[in-house]
Amino acid sequence: MVGLTSAAGVIALLDEHDDDLKVYALQKLNGIVDQFWAEISDAVSKIEIMYEDTEFKDRALAALVASKVYYHLGEFDDSLNFALGAGNLFDLSLKSEYVDTIVCTWIGHFIDYIAVRVQEQQDPQNAEPMDSRLKAVVEKMFDRCYQDSEYKQAVGIALEAHRLDVVEHSIKAGGPSVILPYVYDLTMTVVQDQAYRNTLLQLLVDQFRKLEEPDYVAINQCLVHLGHHQASAELLQKLVSSGAQADLLMAYQLAFDLENNATQKYLTKVSDALPADAADAPQPKFAKVKSILSGKETIKLQLEFLCRNNHTDMLILKDSKNVLDARLSVYHSAVTFANAFMNAGTTSDDFLRQNLEWLSRATNWSKFSATAALGVIHKGQLSRGLSLLAPYLPQDGVTASPYSEGGSLFALGLIHANHGDEVLDYLRGVLKDTQIEVLQHGACLGLGTAGMATDNDDIYEELKNVLFSDSAIGGEAAGLAMGMVMLGTASEKALDEMLQYAHETQHEKIIRGLAVGVSLVMYGKEDAADVLIERLSADKDPILRYGGMYTIAMAYAGTGSNKAIRRLLHVAVSDVNDDVRRAAVTALGFIMFRSHKQVPRIVQLLSESYNPHVRYGACLALGISCAGTGSLDAIELLEPMTKDNVDFVRQGAFIALAMVLMQQNEAQSPKSASVRKMYEEVIKKKNEDALAKFGAVLGQGIIDAGGRNVTISLQSRSGHSNMPAIVGVALFTQFWYWFPASHFLSLAFTPTAIIGVNADLNLPEIEFTSNARPSLFAYIPPTKPPAAVTVEKVATAVLSTTAKAQAKAKKAKSAESDAMDEDEKPEVKTEEAKEDEAKAAAKPKKEAQSEKLGNLARVVPAQLKYISFDKDARYVPVKKDVTGGIVVLLDNKPDEPENLIATTTSAVASTPPASGTDTKMDVEEEEALLPEPFTYPFGDE
C-alpha cells in the first residue's frame, strides 16, 4: 500500500460546513501531524477558530492538534495553552517527546509562578490564584510519579514548587531510608533561598526523628545548619542519659561532628546547656562530651596523627634554601613559609635547628614571618602554646626585637586558631599595654585568629581602639581582626563603624583591612548580604569594591548561587580597577567549591584574558575550588599559565597547581612528578623573576603540607562549609599585599586520617581494609640525594719482573688453600641456575588489590570509598558511613582486655594490671621524649 504523501486532502475537509467532517479531519490530522506539521501549520488558524467556537462539538480535539502544530514550530508557550484546552485528551501517561516537553514547560511555568511569589515575600499557598488547569496538570504529574514509583522526581518538582506536603508524602511512600538522604542533599545543594532551606531542614529533622532507628547523625547536621544549639544540647543529653552504651558512643560521635562543623559561639552555647555529671557518677560522661566540644580531644588526636606520620622531605627545603639568596627578604620569607607549611602541626623544627645561621639573617618583617611560622608548626599545642613561645613573647623589663615579639603574638593566635579561650585574655592585655605598631599588628592578628566567630564585644571594642589610632600597620590588622571576631554575625553596628572609618581614613592599608573584615562579618548570610554588596560594588573607592567582591565570596561560599556568579563575571570583565577584577575571578572559587568540576569550564575564557590580573584570579579560583582533587581539567588550564610572560601569573599558577595536587602521587595523577620537577627547575633558574620563584617555593610547601598528611578542604567531611578553612584561604590570598598573611593558609589544612577512639576516648589497636592497590594512595617517595661522583684512579705501571713474582706467589698460595679446603668445597652453581635466579628476581611481583590499615592511618578523601570495616571485628564504627576523621568505635568484646596505642602527647600508665582488677589497658609503647628547647637566633634590636 502506498503511504500518504500529502495532508492537503485532509486539510481541505476543514472548510466543510458539516461538523462531523471537520471532526473526522481533525482525527486524521491528529494522527499525521508529526509527519506533516509543516503543511498543517498553514491551516492552523482554521483549527484555532474551531477551538474558539463554543458551539463546535469537539473543541478539545482542535486544541490538541493546534498544540502539536505549535510544538513542532517551537512555540512552546502557545503549545502549552492549547494543551491545557485539550483537557483529558492530553494524556500525561504517554511516553513521547511532545508530552515530555509540554509537561516540562508546564512545570517551569508553575515554578516561575511560585518563585515570583516567594521573591515578593508572599505565601505561595495564599497568593493570587493561578490557572486552575495548570495546577491540575501539576497534580496529575505528581500522581503519575506516584504510580510509576518515581518518588525522587516528585521530590525534585515539589522542592522547586514549595510543595512540602508532596515532599512529606514522597518520603513516606518511597521509603525514608532512600528518600530522606536525597531530600537532604537537594536541600543543601539546589535550594538557594535560605529561609525556605531552613523550613525544609526543620521538616527533615521531624522525619529523621520518626524513623524506627532515628538517624542522629543527620539530625545533628540539620540542627547545626538551623543554628538550634538548644536542640543539639537536648539531643546529646538524651543520648548520654539513656544508659545504653551505643547511645553514649553516638553522643561522643555527634560531639566530634559538632566540633568539626560548628562555630565557637555555637559550641559554647551547646556546652553551657549541658548538665554537669552527678557527684556519684562512675564515669564523667558529660565532662567528656564538653571536652570534645571544646576541641581539645580532636586537636590532641590530630596532633598524634601528624607527629606519627610526618613524611616531610627535608631535602627539598634544603635544596631550595641553598639555591636562593637569603639576603633577599622575599626568598627568605618564601623558604620560611614553605617550611611552616611542610611541617604544619607536626611540631618538627629540625630544619630550623639545622640552619641557625640562615635563620639569623631574617630582618624586620622577615623576622616577624619567621617567628609567626612557629605558630603554624606547633598549631594545636593548646596546653603548651605560651611555654613554647615564651622566649619571644613580650616581657616586662626585657628589650627585644619588636618584629620577633609581634610575630610570636601572631603565632600564639595560630596555635590556638578557633580555640582561643586560654590566650584571649593574655593577648588583650598585650594589646592594651603597647603602643608599638608591630606589636599591635601581631596582637590584633592573634586575637582575630584565636577569637574567630566568638562575637565578643569586649575584644571588638579593643580592636576598634587600635583602629581609631589611625596607625597604618596596626589599623590594617585591627580591621581584619574585627571581621574575624564578628565572623558571620552580620552585626549592623560593626558594619556601620567599619565602613564609616573606611571612608574617613586616608591609609590604603587600613581601608583594605576593613574591606576584607566587612566581608567576613557577612560570612554565610547569602541574600541578607545583597544590600551591602550593592553598596560596596557601587562605591567610588576601588578598595571597597574589592571588599565587595570578597563579601560576595564569603556570603555565598559553597552555595553555587547563579546570581552571585553572574555578578562576579560581570565585574571581572567590566570594572576599571585590576585589583577588583582579580578579586571577582578569585571569588568564583569560593562560591563553587562544592561543584568544582564546573569551575574549569567557567574560567576557561578568563584564563586566556589579555589582563594578567584576571588570569591570576583564574589560577587562584581553580586552586581554591579544586584543591586536593587532582582535577585534570584544572591542571590542563594551569599548565600553560606556568609559562605566562607575566611573573605574578606564573606565581599564581605554581600555587594553584600545588593546591590541586595535594596528596596526589603519580598513580593518581601522572602530572604530580613533572610539577614537582618544574618547581625545582624554576627555583634553580638564575634569570627567573623573584615573584615566580616565590610562588614555586610556596608551591613546594603547599603540595607537601603537614608532612604530606593534610589537604585543603573548604567543606567538612559531613558536607558543611568548613568555616575556618574558607576564612583562612580568603586571608591567605591577601599575601598579594602583605606576605605574613600567607600563614593563614594553615587554617585550611585538614588532616586526612581515620582515627578510632573507644568509650574512654583512647586509641585501641584496630584493623580495617582499603580495597584498593596500596600504590594508588601511597606516600610520594622521598627525594634521593645526588649520587656522589667517584674519581677513577689511573692504573699504576707494573714492571714485568714484578708481575711474574706476584703471579708465582699467588699460584703457590691458591694450591695450598685448595689442599686444605678440598672437603669443604662449596657447590658451584651452573650458568643455567644463575640465569633462572636472575629472571625470577627481575620478574615483577603482582601487586595486592587491597591492604590492611591500622589506627591513625592516613586515608586521603579519594580513598574513603574503598574503606571497609569487618562487621565481625571487635571494633566497629557507631556511624554507618565512614567519612574519615575521628570515628567512635563500639567494642563488641567489652570483657576482653584492650590493646591501646600509647600517645606521644600524654603519658599512659604502663604498669601491668593487678590481679582481680577490671582494667582494659595493655600499653605497648612508651611515651616519646619531648624535643629539646629551641630559640630563634635573633639578636635584640
Sign of the four-CA dihedral 798, 800, 804, 807: positive
CB 904 within 8 A of CB 348: no
- 220-256 confidence digits (pLDDT tens): 888 888 888 899 999 999 998 888 888 999 999 999 9
- 356-382 confidence digits (pLDDT tens): 888 888 888 889 999 999 999 999 888
Measured from the Cβ of residue 25, the count of other Cβ atoms closer than 10 Å reads 24
Q: Is 1 helix (H, G, I), strand (E, B) or coil?
A: coil
The pLDDT confidence band at residue 932, using thresholds 50, 70 and 90, is low
pLDDT over 60 (residue 346): yes
CA distance 113 to 127: 10
Task: Name which of 457, 493, 429, 410 is nearest 265 in CA terms.
Answer: 457
Q: How far is CA 790 from its chain centroid?
A: 49
What percent of the chain stands above pLDDT 90?
39
The pLDDT confidence band at residue 815, using thresholds 50, 70 and 90, is low
Q: Which amino acid is at 382?
A: L
Task: Name which of 670, 834, 656, 860 is nearest 752 in CA terms.
Answer: 860
- 111-126 confidence digits (pLDDT tens): 777 766 666 555 545 5
Query: What length does the chain have?
Result: 941
Q: Is 398 helix (H, G, I), strand (E, B) or coil?
A: coil
CA distance 281 to 287: 11
CB 558 within 8 A of CB 591: yes
Q: What are phi and psi of 876, to 5 degrees?
A: -130, 145
pLDDT over 70 (residue 129): no
Task: Name which of 486, 408, 421, 410 is nearest 449 in CA terms.
Answer: 410
- Output the pLDDT for position 60: 86
Instruction: List the grid coordinates of 278.
Output: 552527678
Residue/partner pairs of 799-803 with CB below 8 Å, 24 or more apart:
none
The pLDDT confidence band at residue 217, using thresholds 50, 70 and 90, is confident
The pLDDT confidence band at residue 486, using thresholds 50, 70 and 90, is very high
- 869-898 confidence digits (pLDDT tens): 888 888 999 988 778 889 999 988 888 888
What percent of the chain stands above pLDDT 70?
87
pLDDT over 70 (residue 827): no
pLDDT over 70 (residue 939): no
pLDDT over 50 (residue 575): yes
Average pLDDT, stretch 1-20?
A: 77
pLDDT over 80 (residue 937): no
Q: Is 608 helix (H, G, I), strand (E, B) or coil?
A: helix
The pLDDT confidence band at residue 915, using thresholds 50, 70 and 90, is very low
- Output the pLDDT for position 336: 93
The model's pTM is: 0.83
Instruction: List the grid coordinates of 381.
Output: 599545642
- Output the pLDDT for position 912: 31
- 12-28 confidence digits (pLDDT tens): 888 888 888 888 888 88
Q: What are phi and psi of 556, to 5 degrees?
A: -110, 20
Average pLDDT, stretch 816-840?
A: 55
- Output the pLDDT for position 627: 93
CA distance 11 to 44: 10
pLDDT over 60 (residue 908): no
Q: Is 875 helix (H, G, I), strand (E, B) or coil?
A: strand
For the chain, the farthest-separated pair of C-alpha atoms sits apart, in whole angstroms, at 137
- 502-521 confidence digits (pLDDT tens): 999 999 999 999 999 999 99
For 411, residues 6+ apart whose C-beta sits below 8 A from its C-beta are 371, 372, 373, 374, 375, 376, 378, 389, 392, 446
What is the chain's mean pLDDT, rounded? 84
Which of 158-172, 173-187, 467-481, 894-908 shows the lowest mean pLDDT across its residues? 894-908
| Residue keyed to cell 669443604 | 824
pLDDT over 60 (residue 834): no
